[in-house]
Amino acid sequence: MAVDLATMLGIYVYALFALGAYSFTYKDNSFFKFAEHTYVALSIAYNASVAYGYIRFTAVQPVITGKDATFLIPLVIGALFIFFFSKKYFWLYRFPIAIITGTGMGLAMSGTISAQFLDQVVATVRLPLYVVDKVLGFRPMDTLNNWLIFIMVIGTLAYFFFSITPESSLGAVTGKLGLIGRWTMMVAFGSAFGNTVMTRMNLFIGVYKNLLRDYTSFLGLAALILVVATLEGQRAKKSAQ
């Protein structure tokens, strides 16, 4: 299949940066550093250009055309960010930061209490400990799941209950429950680790799939990067001696 020059160039650039990034697993080298620094620079430039376009279209144009002059207020407040670089007027930089932090925290707090705290508590309290479906009848696995949630929530809460000394009789009970909590958290951490492995592997598989689309770029660049990394490693070894 004939591939045009632009597509070919794209494949090679992709392969160079993907292999450059993954070459770190073999050894730190200049290809990795080049890929890393280019990525950081590109993402900052992309974010800045997209933000500039949005501000120009949403706020600057309405002010210039006289359609909505109120946008001048956020524009002026936003412009105060520049005083981060001034020792004398650094205090002006604190205004936009204070507004952003205050608004963000206020918004997050108001939603958190209802959506992430109260709703979760209500859902846990409402869990039926004997599940019967109208059509399917008794659901043993769902019942077991709900019992596990019930026991594990209490256990985990008991683990973080620090107001009772372990020596007291009540402390012995919370200690036992806390042990369940500890095991619960260990299971949760294990599950989180397993899911993390899945995500990282999927990232790798995605890159690997793209690399295998064109064997020549993949193999050629892989060999080149390995040679450079090995030579760099030898040079570093010699200079250390």
Partner 1 sequence: MSFWKKLEAVDARIIYLILWIAIGLPLLTPLYLPLSISPDTVNYHKAIEALPAGAVVAFGMDVSPAGYGGELGPQARATAYHLFTKPIKIVFLSFWETGAPLIQDVWKNRYVADAMKDKKYGEDYVNLHWIPGTETGMAAFAEDVWKTVPADYKGTKLADLPMMAKIKSVNDFAMLVCIETGTPGGPEYLRQWQARNRNLKMLVGSLGVSVPANIAYMASGQYISILRGGRGATEYQYILKIVTPTDVQGSDAMTMSHVVVLVFLLLGNLGYLATKGQKGGKK
Interacting residues toward partner 1 by CB under 8 A: 25-26, 43, 46-47, 50-51, 54, 57-58, 100, 103-104, 107-108, 110-112, 114-116, 119-120, 122-124, 149, 188, 191-192, 195-210, 212
Nearer to partner 1, 26 or 89 (CB): 26
Min CB(86)–partner 1 separation in Å: 25
Min CB(207)–partner 1 separation in Å: 7
Nearer to partner 1, 24 or 161 (CB): 24
Min CB(134)–partner 1 separation in Å: 17
Nearer to partner 1, 148 or 170 (CB): 148
Q: What angle do CA 153, 157, 162 make, to 5 degrees?
A: 170
Tokens 């205004």 found at = 95
| CB neighbour burial string for 66-76, b if at least 16 within 10 angstroms, e if fewer | eeeeebeeeee
Task: Measure the CA–CA gap between 29 and 224, rounded to whole angstroms.
Answer: 12
Asked if residues 153 and 170 have their Cβ atoms less than 8 Å apart, the reply is no
Record the tokens describing residue 168, joined without a space: 């007291």
Min CB(158)–partner 1 separation in Å: 19
77 burial (CB, 10 Å; 0-12 / 13-18 / 19+) is middle
Task: Measure the CA–CA gap between 206 and 211, rounded to whole angstroms.
Answer: 9
Task: Measure the CA–CA gap between 99 and 77, rounded to whole angstroms.
Answer: 9
Min CB(34)–partner 1 separation in Å: 18
How many other CB atoms are there within 10 angstroms of residue 125's CB atom? Answer: 9
Min CB(172)–partner 1 separation in Å: 30
Nearer to partner 1, 123 or 236 (CB): 123
Nearer to partner 1, 173 or 198 (CB): 198
Nearer to partner 1, 20 or 174 (CB): 20
